[in-house]
Amino acid sequence: MPADADAAADAEQAAPAPGAVRLERNAPVKFVFLGPPGAGKGTQAARMAVRFNVQHASTGDMFRKAAAAGSELGRTVKDYLDSGRLVPDELTSRVVEELVLDAGDGYILDGYPRTLGQAEALAANLERRGLRLDGVVYFDLSDQEAVRRLTGRLVCSGCGRNYHREFMPPKATDVCDDCGAALRVRSDSAEDVVRQRLAVYHEMTEPLVRYYRDRGLLENVDASAAPDDVERATGALLERLARSEGDR
């Protein structure tokens, strides 16, 4: 490719997405999204990353990227993933530092930090760089609503298409619209599995709500609303936080 074509391609990649929010500030935005399973924070992180032209840094994607890189760090992560073991806090924080913080770009962290140890590591890594988070958004959702959302998920036993009993139901009860095969409850959507996930969340991650509230960084969003309403509330909140931080 000619040099001018390379430059044009680089410029296109660097350009904000259509409709992206333009902020009059020099430093890139830095947010953490927290919330229980079923709160939709991953969906909102993806939408806000496009809106603010920043990286959507989900833990799963970072682990897969690190493993694929083949570095010493990546090989260690891959060993944990292949064996089904949880990646330790210290190793998770190293992945985030290498793949997100060292890049120096804006980001929304989704799924990290998950524990107080990870939150403290993130704070230390930012402090070494003379940086701070713009804010931490907590997507507030009751256990009752989380169970209702997560246990309603169905999957086609034939083609694998996903459904939801309430939010995205098939035309005929428990029958796939595409191939006519029977629908079944997803293995990760059984009520006992969902309640165990919530119990782990309350034990390991919910303490971060108080941690960030005590530091004046926490902002709540009502995640029980419709996804588009949550998106509007989240976008307005992030814009306000980014502009106020940029004025400091």
Catalytic (active-site) positions:
41, 114, 153, 186, 197
169: helix, strand or coil: coil
CB 81 within 8 A of CB 28: no
Eight-state DSSP code of residue 157? T
Q: Which two tokens stand for residue 116?
A: 């107080």
| Alpha carbon of residue 33 to chain centroid | 6
List phi, psi (to 5°) of 190. Answer: -60, 145
- Strands of the chain (E only): list them: 30-34, 55-58, 107-110, 135-140, 153-156, 162-164, 183-185, 218-222
Q: What is the distance between the terminal CA atoms of the chain, rounded to a whole angstrom? A: 43
Closest CA to 92 of 111, 71, 68, 105: 111
CB 31 within 8 A of CB 108: yes
Task: Give the whole-angstrom CA distance, residue 222 versus residue 225.
Answer: 6
